[in-house]
Amino acid sequence: MKKLIARTESISKNSSNEHILEVKDISVSFGGVQPVRGVSFGLTENSFTSIIGPNGAGKTSLFNLISGINKVDAGEIIFRGEALQDIHIHKIAQKGLVRTFQGAKVIRRLTVAENLMMAVQGNPGDNLRGFLNPRARSSFESKSREEAMRRLEQVGLTKFADEFAGILSGGQRKLLDLSRALMTKPSLLLLDEPFAGVNPTLVEKLLNVLEELRKDQEMTFLLIEHDLETVMRISDRVIVMAEGKIIADGLPNSIYESEVVIDAYLGSRRRGAK
Ligand SMILES: Nc1ncnc2c1ncn2[C@@H]1O[C@H](COP(=O)(O)OP(=O)(O)O)[C@@H](O)[C@H]1O
Ligand SMILES: [Mg+2]
């Protein structure tokens, strides 16, 4: 396994204080399974990095560690200079590190707009003083409704604003999940296969939204994605995982041409495609 490690083009040489996220030698195991084994990388602010790798490589497990759903057994996760290992998951999101899920999480019995409004922090209804101050509450609600409507317009879901989210198709739920993640204007967004199971028209829509967001230069993206064409189009760096480890890390083209990657992952896909 060791000989598989290939830093095809090291583009993560910046010192750690230039990195919005620094993952240092993290591992986790559940019973006899160790889905993440000594993973390290840093993300430069405003970059777009994709993670590829076969099923079961540990990609989602890695996201679970970074976003605080699971805690690391070893290693460190530093976000904006602060260690995250011991911080509660909700606090992590409040700090600007937000993720989406492989199976988009929407609350079916709330309306589409309400699903988005739920994501906003600091709801005055959350604490007693705010609860007793209806004016603060209604002003907050109208602001978050406005933001929700802006987000829905961005992904073309405006006409569903007041429908129950349960009526949305799988693809539309992914759009809603992305909008939910954007409601709090995160500085680092982790996207777990946002395009899987989404029809090509909606994929194009999602990609356009992501490309627009990139232009704003205010967010850093980490994307797990299977489709290489999509990865090549949108990423400025690609990390390849297999068996819980990073086996290659570099510019998209260098990854695409790397022998190590072709052997470990792409080979079967390319052969399959021909
Ligand atoms: N909470 C858990 N308990 C037990 N096994 C887990 C857990 N989370 C992940 N795994 C195992 O870790 C491996 C990697 O899974 P995953 O991270 O979902 O891979 P990927 O997202 O790359 O397809 C799989 O074998 C999976 O069954
Ligand atoms: Mg996964």
Tell me if 115 CB under 6 Å of ligand 1. Answer: no
Amino acid identity at 247: I
CA 244 to ligand 1: nearest atom: 14
158 & 24 share domain? no
| pLDDT tens digits for range 116-149 | 998 886 555 556 665 667 776 677 778 889 999 9
36 & 131 share domain? no
| pLDDT tens digits for range 196-236 | 888 888 889 889 999 999 888 789 999 999 888 899 999 99
Q: What is the pLDDT, as a whole number, of residue 19?
A: 94
Domain count, the chain: 2
State yes or no: pLDDT of 17 exceeds 70: no
Q: What is the pLDDT, as a whole number, of residue 190?
A: 97
Q: Is residue 181 situated within a structural domain? A: no
111 & 219 share domain? no
Output the residue whose Cα is nearest ligand 1's atom 1.
30
pLDDT-based confidence at 239, cuts 50/70/90? very high
268 & 146 share domain? no
69 & 136 share domain? no
Q: Is residue 176 situated within a structural domain? A: no
Q: Is residue 63 situated within a structural domain? A: yes
The residue from 123, 138, 167 where one domain ends is 167
195 & 241 share domain? yes
Q: Is residue 77 situated within a structural domain? A: yes
The residue from 137, 167, 197 where one domain ends is 167
Q: Is residue 175 situated within a structural domain? A: no
| pLDDT tens digits for range 150-205 | 999 989 999 999 999 999 998 899 999 999 999 988 999 999 999 888 888 888 98
Would you say the pTM of this structure is higher than 0.75? yes
Q: What is the pLDDT, as a whole number, of residue 15?
A: 46
How much of the chain, in percent, has pLDDT values that exceed 70? 84
Which ligand approaches the C-alpha of residue 241 most closely?
1
Per the structure, the complete domain to which residue 120 belongs is given by 107-167
**CATH number of the domain encompassing residue 251:** 3.40.50.300
Which ligand approaches the C-alpha of residue 35 most closely?
1
Greater confidence (250 vs 18) lies with 250
Output the residue whose Cα is nearest ligand 1's atom 7.
30
Output the residue whose Cα is nearest ligand 1's atom 25.
56
12 & 138 share domain? no
Tell me if 237 CB under 6 Å of ligand 1. Answer: no
